[in-house]
């Protein structure tokens, strides 16, 4: 793969976007990070800050992933793909004690990528998400997890979009919120539903209506119901997060004993 000699100055590198990555709020991880069985580690990275590492991260990818990267028409999309996928390998390598390029993935029942663990002796679950210039990666050994992050952007046709993708009661709840809280309610609903479906590995487009969640800012983040799952309300755990101003996200999993640790990716620790 080939990359430009200098960081891109495309729409992804406007001052407003640059401000988001420089405002990552989470602490830098200690020199030695130990993942306890009762923990989820959530990493956040500003993609713009890692652009000059794209050649190094791209070299970690197998040929199949390099070929996928080359199919993106814009250099911006290609760089972000390479950074995200290379970064995932770098993070996983610390937990698996493997070289980043040696990590193998397989597909789960619904096609969700999973780390192949037969040869490393450690069962590890991971999931990633990105929005604009922020990427997040969740890691645990406890159970399957799903994560979603979104940048809060105005939605002119917010009610029409909600009626298309949300359940009627979710849309009614959102529209009953004060006007200045509806956008937050929309993204609360979206990130929570998507995180659950990413944890199960099901397709989002086909299954959004199967999952009902709370969304009002004053309500506890929770799964209300899942079609075909009688114990969903009792077992699903939702952990909201915000890696930077203007971004919100959610992690979903089925294990009430887990705690969350949030770390920020820096060049010095890659």
Please calculate the CA angle 150-153-154 and round it to the nearest 5 degrees: 145
| pTM metric for this prediction | 0.89
Q: Indicate the fold that domain 11-143+256-269 takes in CATH.
A: Ribosomal Protein L22; Chain A (3.90.470)
From CA 214, how far away is CA 222, in angstroms rounded? 6
Q: Indicate the fold that domain 151-241 takes in CATH.
A: Ribosomal Protein L22; Chain A (3.90.470)
**What SS3 state is found at 72?**
coil
Asked if residue 123 has pLDDT above 80, the reply is yes
Q: Which two tokens stand for residue 122?
A: 């450690």
For 204-251, write each residue's pLDDT tens digit: 767 898 999 999 999 999 999 999 999 999 999 999 999 999 999 999
Number of C-beta neighbours around residue 240 at 10 A: 14
For 140-175, write each residue's pLDDT tens digit: 999 999 999 999 999 999 999 999 999 999 999 999
* Sequence spans of domains, the chain: 11-143+256-269, 151-241
Fold match flag (11-143+256-269 vs 151-241): yes
**Residue 194: how many CA atoms within 13 Å on its side-chain side?**
20
């Amino acid at each position: 793969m080939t990359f430009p000699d200098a960081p891109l100055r495309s729409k992804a590198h406007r001052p407003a976007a640059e401000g988001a990555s420089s405002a990552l709020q989470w602490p830098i991880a200690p020199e030695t990070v130990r993942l306890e069985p009762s923990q989820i580690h959530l990493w956040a990275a500003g993609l713009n800050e890692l652009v000059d590492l794209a050649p190094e991260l791209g070299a970690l990818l197998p040929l199949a992933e390099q070929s996928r990267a080359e199919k993106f028409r814009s250099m911006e999309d290609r760089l972000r793909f390479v950074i995200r996928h290379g970064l995932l390998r770098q993070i996983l390598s610390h937990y698996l004690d493997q070289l980043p390029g040696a990590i193998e993935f397989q597909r789960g029942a619904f096609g969700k990528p999973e780390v192949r663990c037969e040869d490393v002796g450690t069962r590890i679950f991971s999931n990633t998400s990105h929005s604009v210039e922020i990427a997040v990666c969740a890691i645990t050994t406890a159970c399957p997890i799903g994560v979603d992050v979104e940048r809060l952007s105005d939605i002119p046709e917010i009610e029409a979009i909600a009626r298309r993708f949300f359940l009627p009661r979710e849309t009614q709840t959102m529209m009953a919120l004060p006007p200045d809280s509806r956008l937050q309610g929309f993204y609360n609903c979206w990130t929570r539903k998507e995180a659950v479906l990413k944890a199960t590995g099901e397709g989002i487009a086909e299954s959004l209506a199967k999952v009902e969640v709370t969304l009002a800012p004053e309500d506890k983040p929770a799964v209300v119901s899942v079609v075909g799952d009688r114990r969903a309300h009792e077992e699903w755990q939702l952990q909201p997060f915000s890696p930077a101003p203007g971004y919100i996200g959610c992690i979903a999993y089925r294990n009430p004993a887990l705690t969350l640790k949030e770390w920020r990716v820096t060049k010095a620790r890659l």
